[in-house]
Amino acid sequence: MTSQITFYLSQVIGSKIYDLHGTRLGKVIDIYVNATPETIAQEEAFRPIFVALKTKIDGSVRYLDYQYIQISGKQQNYKFSCSEIKDLPEETLHNSLPLVKNILDKQIVDINGRKLVRVNDVRLVSIASGTYAIAVDIGTEGLLRRLGVADIVNKLLNIFKLDLDTRFILWDDVQAFDTTNYNIKLSQASNKLQRLHPSDLADIIEEMGSASRAKIFEALDEERAADVLEEMEPYAQAQLIESLSIEKVADVLEKMPADEVADLLDTLEDEKAEQILNEMEKDSSEEVRELLEYESKEVGSLMTTDILSFHETMTVEDTLNELRRQKPEADVLYLMFVIDENEKLIATISLRDLVISGPQMKISEIMNKDIISVQDEDKVNTLGEIIEKYDLLAIPVTDAENTLLGMVVIDDIVEDLMDKGKTKKGGRSWR
C-alpha cells in the first residue's frame, strides 16, 4: 500500500474484498465509520475512521472489522485485502455510521454556509494510521462521478476552458445529519449546532424532514429551543409541535413570551392547544389563556405581558439590582413602568434615566408621568398613528380601570401592519 491514497466513496462501493490467498470474499456494500468519538476534545478536528466493511459472504451479511483490512489500487480499480475474517463487535457497530445508508444522497447541515445541502459523494483518505472520511462532496462533479461520466464531461469542458462545479465541506463543518434511520448521538454536532444564531438554526430546521426536524429540536435545551421556535414560520411551528411530545412542547413554550405562545397556539386545533395548556405550569397557562380571549383586531391580541414594573419608592440602586437579577430580554427594556400598590399605571421610566441617575435617588424623582398608553380593547389600527406621532418603541397597555396589563412592542406592530408572522383567526378561549 502506498503512503497515502485519496479516493471517493462512489469509487469503492462495489469493490471486491479478498483474503490473503487471493480468494474473493465478497464486495463492499457499505462502509461504517466511528461517529461518536469519546476521547477527542471538542475543539479538535475530528475525522471519522473506517471501522467496518459491510459485505455478504456465503449468503450472509457480514461486518468485517477494518483493522484487519487494507486498501490498494487507483481510480476505479480499488480492492480490499483482508488478513483475518473477523466481524466488528456488535456494540461498536451499533455506534457507527454507515456512509452509504446515512450520508450519501442525504441532506446535511453546512455550519459555515448555515444551510442544508445534499451529499453527492464522500472524500476519503487512507494513510498509515487508518482510513478516514475527510469531507463531503456537494458539487456537480461529485454527482457526475457517481454516474461515471465526470472524466468525459471534464474533457469536454476543458475544450471551452470551463470547469465543473467542485465543492467540498470538511467533515468538521458537517454538523448534523438526517438521523431518521439510526440513533447515534453526535455530541460534537449538537454543540456546534447550538452555537448558531437562532434565526439561522430555525431556517435550517424548517428545511428538514419532519423526523429529522424533531430529532434536532429534541437535542436543544429548553431555552435554546424556545428561541429557535420563535424564529420559525407559523406553518413550520405547527408541523414541529405535531411531531413532538406534549411534555416537550409545554416545557419549551413556558420559556417563551406569553403573546408568542398565544399566537402559536392559535394556529393549532382546539384539542391540541388545550392539551398543551393543561400540561403547562398553571401561571404560564392562565397568562396565555387570557391573551387568547382577545379578538384579532384588539390591542390585547398583540400585547406582551413580559414587562418590568417597579414602585416609585424604590431607589435606582434597588431597581438596577432587580434588573440584574431578572436578566430580561432586550425588548423588555424598551420601556419600564411604575405602578402603585393596586398595580395602576402611574408613570414610565427608561433604562437611560436609571443608568445616569445617582444610586440613592428614588424612582419618583426620575419617572415620567406623561404617559402615552392604550387600552387592551382598543383597535389595533390605532397603534400605527400613535407610534409614528410619538416615536415610541413600546406602548403600555391598561384595562378600563388603568390597571397595567402589558405593553405592545413596535416590532409586533410593524409585523401586524405588514401582515407578517401573525396568523390570528379571532378570539378563542380555553377554560
Question: Quick one: cell of 360?
Answer: 440613592
pTM of the model: 0.64
pLDDT tens-place string over residues 125-138? 999 999 999 999 98
Decide which of 54 and 107 is more confident: 54
Name the CATH topology of 309-417: CBS-domain (3.10.580)
Name the CATH topology of 197-292: MgtE N-terminal fold (1.25.60)
Q: Is 191 a residue whose pLDDT tops 80? A: no
Instruction: Give the model's confidence band at 426: pLDDT under 50 very low, under 70 low, under 90 confident, else very high.
Output: very low
Q: Is 283 a residue whose pLDDT tops 50? A: yes
Rounded average pLDDT over 276-303: 92
Percent of the chain topping pLDDT 70: 87
Which pLDDT value is given to residue 421?
45
Which pLDDT value is given to residue 167?
84
Which pLDDT value is given to residue 170?
85
Which pLDDT value is given to residue 388?
81
Q: Is 293 a residue whose pLDDT tops 70? A: yes
For 5-173, give the CATH class.
Answer: mainly beta
Which pLDDT value is given to residue 288?
94
Decide which of 192 and 110 is more confident: 110
Q: Is 418 a residue whose pLDDT tops 80? A: no
Q: Is 86 a residue whose pLDDT tops 90? A: yes
Q: Is 192 a residue whose pLDDT tops 70? A: no
Which pLDDT value is given to residue 205?
85
Q: Is 332 a residue whose pLDDT tops 80? A: yes
Which pLDDT value is given to residue 39?
44
Decide which of 424 and 96 is more confident: 96
374: left (phi over 0), alpha (psi -120 to 50) or beta: beta
Q: Is 99 a residue whose pLDDT tops 90? A: yes
Which pLDDT value is given to residue 425?
39
Question: Domain limits of the chain?
Answer: 5-173, 197-292, 309-417
Q: Which of 63-67, 173-177, 407-411 has the lowest mean pLDDT?
A: 173-177
Q: Is 10 a residue whose pLDDT tops 80? A: yes
Which pLDDT value is given to residue 216?
79
Q: Is 209 a residue whose pLDDT tops 80? A: no
Which pLDDT value is given to residue 273?
94
pLDDT tens-place string over residues 358-381? 999 999 999 999 999 999 999 988
Which pLDDT value is given to residue 416?
63
Q: Which of 11-20, 44-53, 309-318, 363-372 has the lowest mean pLDDT?
A: 44-53
Decide which of 170 and 421 is more confident: 170
Instruction: Give the model's confidence band at 156: pLDDT under 50 very low, under 70 low, under 90 confident, else very high.
Output: confident
Which pLDDT value is given to residue 45?
63
Which pLDDT value is given to residue 23?
94
Q: Is 16 a residue whose pLDDT tops 90? A: yes
Mean pLDDT of all residues belonging to the chain: 85
